[in-house]
């Protein structure tokens, strides 16, 4: 274990030296990247110090016990040894978890898309509920959200809505939300009190940089149109909304939130890059899932992942068999307890795979 930690310390020392170099500070992108690495390595270094301290205490206690000249000191040393050895396994597990290579995607910002599925108007209303749930959750994490494009439902909510989320480790947290979400409740229009089941699909696309996805301008058809509001009527008379169609794949991206055509075009290209990047990522995840039989990241975007049951006030995540009777708080953005459980299962799987290297 200590040998591995010493290798990490060499890199930590390198990064510590690099982030104070003037040329690195001048390169904002490189500086942010190294700063993130420094923070991650600093956490491992703190655990390394704790590990060395525990090992020293164990060695010191063993020496005092083997000496045995002072019965009182020997008794104290035995207590110290028991305490230090008791804390070692938990610390080793924490270090193992930190030493697992992080997915480089996890630090990315995301484009989230929520689409109403089966269930008509009720599905659109549910898509609106999910949008509100995610924006409240993002707010609680200190992340920024920005609306990109939407199509409103006839009775409220959204047929489809896209928004950006930016902050720290956004994709690493929200990637578990991708899939089909299902709601069971009595719609307001239902006169006989029958419970209906509706669904909405959530997509979480990691934002791709220009250098990660090259798009040939000749491969993109650009259409300009007027932004639309409720019921589809035009809300302005300028052709500021932009729709991009990537001809080789048929992938479409559009943005109408900004008043400026130029800004909408930039954002639409960002969404298009993210969609194309996500297609490649989904293919890779399917291959990885086939090898690993992962519970929480199967790569199957059409899988039913969660049910929100209003009559019983429960939320069930089907991937890990987690049921919580706290629907109101969860739908109001208190998602962390579910995400923590999903992360725990995901990290345990990764730890099991990596365990042979420790």
- What are the tens digits of pLDDT across the range 305-323? 999 999 999 999 999 999 9
* pLDDT over 70 (residue 219): yes
In this predicted structure, what is the pLDDT of residue 287?
A: 65
* pLDDT over 80 (residue 232): no
Apex 250 CA angle, 245 and 255, nearest 5: 35
Do 180 and 197 meet the contact criterion of CB atoms below 8 Å apart? no
Per the prediction, the chain carries an average pLDDT of 86
Look-up of token digits 């491969």: 219
Q: What is the pTM of this model?
A: 0.69
- What are the tens digits of pLDDT across the range 105-143? 888 899 999 999 988 899 999 999 999 999 999 999 999
Look-up of token digits 């959200």: 145
Do 222 and 192 meet the contact criterion of CB atoms below 8 Å apart? no
In this predicted structure, what is the pLDDT of residue 275?
A: 86
In this predicted structure, what is the pLDDT of residue 293?
A: 52
- What are the tens digits of pLDDT across the range 268-294? 888 898 888 888 877 776 765 555 555
* Domains of the chain from N-terminus onward: 2-99 (1.20.58), 104-349 (3.30.70.1660)
Q: What is the DSSP letter of 101?
A: P
pLDDT band at 177 (very low <50, low <70, confident <90, very high): very high
* pLDDT over 60 (residue 358): no
Beta bridge partners of 113: 162, 203
In this predicted structure, what is the pLDDT of residue 2?
A: 81
Query: Can you tell me the distance from the alpha carbon of 223 to that of 231, in angstroms, rounded to the nearest whole number?
Result: 21
5-9, 27-31, 329-333: range with lowest mean pLDDT:
27-31
* pLDDT over 80 (residue 200): yes
In this predicted structure, what is the pLDDT of residue 27?
A: 86
Q: How far is CA 290 from CA 100, 183, 304, 336, 347, in A?
A: 20, 29, 18, 28, 17
The arithmetic mean of pLDDT across residues 225-230, rounded, is 66
* pLDDT over 80 (residue 296): no
The arithmetic mean of pLDDT across residues 181-197, rounded, is 86
* pLDDT over 90 (residue 227): no
pLDDT band at 161 (very low <50, low <70, confident <90, very high): very high
- What are the tens digits of pLDDT across the range 48-86? 999 999 999 999 999 889 887 888 888 999 998 999 889
pLDDT band at 237 (very low <50, low <70, confident <90, very high): low
The arithmetic mean of pLDDT across residues 8-25, rounded, is 91
3-state secondary structure 255-322: ECCCCCHHHHHHHHHHHHHHHHHHHHHHHHHHHHHHHHCCCCCCCCCCCEEEEEECCCCEEEECCCCE
In this predicted structure, what is the pLDDT of residue 233?
A: 46
In this predicted structure, what is the pLDDT of residue 7?
A: 87
Q: Is 142 helix (H, G, I), strand (E, B) or coil?
A: coil
């Amino acid at each position: 274990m200590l040998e591995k930690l010493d290798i990490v310390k060499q890199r930590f020392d390198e990064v510590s030296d690099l982030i104070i170099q003037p040329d690195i500070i001048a390169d904002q992108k490189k500086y942010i990247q190294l700063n993130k690495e420094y923070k991650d390595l600093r956490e491992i270094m703190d655990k390394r110090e704790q590990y060395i301290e525990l090992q020293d205490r164990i060695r010191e206690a063993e020496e005092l016990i083997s000496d045995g000249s002072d019965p009182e000191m020997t008794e104290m040393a035995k207590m110290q040894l028991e305490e230090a050895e008791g804390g070692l396994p938990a610390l080793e597990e924490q270090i193992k978890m930190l030493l697992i290579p992080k997915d480089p995607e996890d630090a990315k910002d995301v484009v989230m898309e929520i689409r109403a599925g089966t269930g008509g108007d009720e599905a659109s209303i549910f898509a609106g509920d999910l949008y509100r749930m995610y924006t409240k959750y993002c707010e609680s994490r200190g992340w920024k959200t920005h609306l990109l494009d939407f199509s409103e439902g006839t009775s409220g909510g959204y047929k489809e809505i896209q928004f950006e989320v930016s902050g720290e480790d956004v994709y690493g947290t929200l990637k578990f939300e991708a899939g089909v979400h299902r709601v069971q409740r009595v719609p307001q229009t239902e006169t006989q009190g029958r419970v209906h089941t509706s669904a909405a699909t959530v997509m979480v696309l990691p934002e791709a940089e220009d250098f990660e996805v090259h798009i040939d301008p000749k491969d993109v058809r650009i259409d300009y149109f007027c932004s639309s509001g409720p019921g589809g009527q035009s809300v302005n008379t300028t052709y500021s909304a932009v729709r991009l169609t990537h001809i080789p794949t048929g992938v479409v991206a559009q943005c109408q939130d900004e008043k400026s055509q130029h800004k909408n075009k930039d954002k639409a290209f960002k969404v298009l890059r993210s969609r194309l990047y996500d297609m490649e990522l989904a293919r890779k995840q399917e291959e990885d899932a086939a090898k690993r039989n992962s519970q929480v990241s199967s790569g199957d975007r059409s899988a039913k992942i969660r049910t929100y049951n209003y009559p019983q006030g429960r939320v069930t995540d089907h991937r890990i068999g987690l049921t919580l009777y706290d629907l109101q708080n969860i739908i109001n953005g208190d998602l962390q307890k579910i995400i923590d459980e999903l992360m725990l299962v995901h990290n345990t799987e990764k730890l099991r795979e990596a365990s042979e290297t420790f």
